[in-house]
Chains A and B, each alone.
Chain A
Amino acid sequence: MNYSIAIYGGPYSDQSAHSALHFARAVLKREHSIQRVFFYHDGVYNSSALVSPPQDEANVPAQWQELAKEHDIELVVCIAAAVRRGLLDEKEAKRYSKATHNLADGFTLSGLGQLIDAGMTCDRLITFGA
């Protein structure tokens, strides 16, 4: 089955961000596929390149990057939710005249249409953190 995942919770604040990773691994282990992970609401914080947990805690963005690379998963972050929370890629940083950008590699800023599209085109869209 082809899955997509929506995440609304931020890492280290909300279990949903961590549960989504567990779920994704379980899905892939059963040889299903994941097309897209969409980050919305506080879920956008999962895409920060500046996340710096203590050494005995998981680095959530890094884990998504690794999983996405290995299994060819799109990591899409809602642009409107991200930009107002201070998560910018190079292009948006320029657009809003900011000195720096902090969206982690492998993540893409895009519109909410990508969440609607995931719901339309995948067999299952599973939401974490609603």
Chain B
Amino acid sequence: MSDLLIIFRKPPVGTSWAREALDLALVGAAFGQQASLVFMGDGVYQLLDNQQPDQVEQKGTQAMMKALPMYDIDQIFVSEESLSERGLTKDQLGFDCELIGQTELQALLKTHKQVFNF
């Protein structure tokens, strides 16, 4: 069981939420805390392959996300419902992640002492 559960609900660009949530995950890891990440709502867009944040003069999160294994963050969950609501499928995602439903999400929330919601 990991120590931190960080929930990403915002798209990779448009606001700084996604980047700042990811910063927290990386700092948590550097702090010796095992982090699990959940992507839901518009947060699922952070997992899409081939993003071009530079088109809107942003850095986005795609490159940083690729660094997650360097920080030993490998528990990545994505809401199946949020994907299908947006007409997305798992093979469009650029990251290894586990699809979860409402029940699994509830279990994650229940088993983590610390939950950060962005």
A–B touch (CB < 8 A): the answer is: yes
The answer for the CA separation of A41 and B117 in the assembled complex, in Å, is 13
Say yes or no: B114 contacts A119, CB within 8 Å: yes
How distant is A86 from chain B, measured CB to nearest CB, in Å? 14
- Pair B28/A80 contact, Cβ less than 8 Å: no
Given contacts A41-B17, A41-B20, contact A116 B117 (CB under 8 A): no
Q: Which of B16, B24, B114 contacts A112 (CB 8 A)?
A: B24
Interface membership of chain A positions 73-111, coded 1 if the CB is closer than 8 angstroms to chain B and 0 otherwise: 000000011000000000000000000000000000001
- Contact flags A112-124 to B (C-beta < 8 A → 1, else 0): 1101110110000
**Interface of A (DSSP majority class):** helix
Please name all residues of chain B whose beta carbon is closer than 8 Å to the beta carbon of A130 when the two chains form the complex: 116-118
A115–B118 alpha-carbon span in the complex (Å): 14
Choice from B16, B17, B20, B27 contacting A116 with Cβ under 8 Å: B27
Closest CB in chain A relative to B11 CB, distance in Å: 15
Bound-state CA distance A106–B54 (Å) is 38
CB distance from B6 to the nearest CB of A (A): 11
Question: Which residues on the B side are within 8 Å of A115 (C-beta)?
Answer: 24
